[in-house]
Amino acid sequence: MATLDRKRYLDANEAAHLLQFARGSVARESERDYVALSVTLNGALRLREVRALNTTDLKRDETGAPILDVWFSKGKASRRVRITEEMAELLEDWIRKQRRRLGGADGPMFTVFYRGLERRIARRSLEHVFKRIARRAGLPGCYSFHSLRHTYGVYYYRSTRDILALREQLGHARVSTTQIYTSIDGATARENLRSLPAALKPPGRYRRARGNGMGGNGEERRRASGSPL
């Protein structure tokens, strides 16, 4: 089974630092960049899926839970991705601002102002956004925009151990593709072992029973030594 190289996903502290740095940036498009990175990480989106988002793609299901209609997914025309309430609130605020930028109309979720018009952001621009913020945040150069999707996969599985739900979130056609996120690190393995029931653990160090030298009765000693009756 294939495993995920550690250099392909951020650890939890790195992910938090990246978003904190993006949030505190004073760049001209800092809010756009912060929201784009946040929805990528919270929704496990591919680069082309982030680029294709529109202001109409944030919805609620029949239970009121927030979802995103994601277009141009791999192998499919679209899919629905569940996001947290915190992410939905961030998007709702951004969508209101983005609609004002678009003259009160719906349109691309993320744009750049070019030649007098708000145009859908290019894939290369999104990649540059990630690299620029990651570099300024002091993260290793091995990470890419797609590392955010891998980061989601790793921590979703560690939190839930539900590979089928993760497969649906990621939009994988086969569960075998999702299995790269089931490999665990040493710290997680130790924690899993500590959580085993007591019946599967030795009760303590070996202690020789007292009595008659070897411990136990004469019958037990004869059996242990192989001596005849």
Burial class (CB in 10 A: 0-12, 13-18, 19+), 5: exposed
Structure tokens belonging to residue 116: 């007098």
Q: DSSP H helical segments within 44-144, as ranges?
A: 47-52, 85-101, 123-136
Structure tokens belonging to residue 214: 């070897």
149 is catalytic: yes
For residues 69 and 80, the answer to whether their CB atoms sit within 8 Å is yes
Give the active site residue among 51, 79, 167, 172: 172
Give the active site residue among 51, 79, 149, 150: 149
Residue that is written with structure tokens 């952001």 in the block = 121
Amino acid identity of 31?
A: E
For residues 220 and 211, the answer to whether their CB atoms sit within 8 Å is no
Give the active site residue among 74, 119, 135, 222: 74
46 is catalytic: yes
> Furthest-apart CA pair in the chain: how many Å?
104
Give the active site residue among 146, 155, 158, 221: 146
Nearest-angstrom CA–CA distance, 76 and 67: 17
Nearest-angstrom CA–CA distance, 50 and 121: 9
181 is catalytic: yes
Give the active site residue among 9, 32, 34, 46: 46
The set of catalytic residues is 46, 74, 146, 149, 172, 181
